Homo-oligomer: A and B are copies of this chain.
């Protein structure tokens, strides 16, 4: 099908945080010497921090502690080309059982007791409204 082109508008930070509570999965992204790394994860967002549960031996844990990372989530309707995307930026902190915030249910088997908390200092988003 063909749609008329849509329009993008910027979202406020409260709009971004509210939308993050509706997304089951996002993507945590960090820099490496050979280019960006990205891993899709389920998560919990509480208005200031995004928490991910992972395994202590995961690449995520080995690489991101104390690093600046980005976290992206979106929801796009491919039928009418409407939706939203949010990008949060901040410092990742690996918390081995010392985190008291809300934590996501693990979706993957194995021991996943390690929390990666992204302490967000910047959050931006855009909504795509259909042109149809």
Closest B residue to A87 using CB positions: B38
Partner of A30, one of B30, B36, B109: B36
Question: So how many copies of this chain end up in the complex?
Answer: 2
Would B5 and A76 count as touching, CB distance under 8 A?
no
A19: CB under 8 A from chain B? no
CB neighbors of B among A33-59 (8 A): 34-38, 40
Contact partners of A70 in chain B: CB under 8 A = 29, 35-38
Contact partners of A72 in chain B: CB under 8 A = 27, 38, 40
* Total residues of chain A contacting the partner, CB 8 A: 38
Interchain CA distance A37-B69 in the complex, whole Å: 9
Interchain CA distance A25-B72 in the complex, whole Å: 13
Contact partners of A89 in chain B: CB under 8 A = 35
A128: CB under 8 A from chain B? yes
Partner of A31, one of B35, B108, B131: B35
A13 CB to closest chain B CB (Å) equals: 18
A interface list, Cβ under 8 A from B: 2-8, 24-25, 27, 29-31, 34-38, 40, 68-70, 72, 74, 76, 78, 81, 85, 87, 89, 105-110, 128, 131
* The 5 residue pairs across chains A and B that have the minimum distance between CB atoms: A24-B78, A5-B109, A35-B68, A29-B36, A81-B107
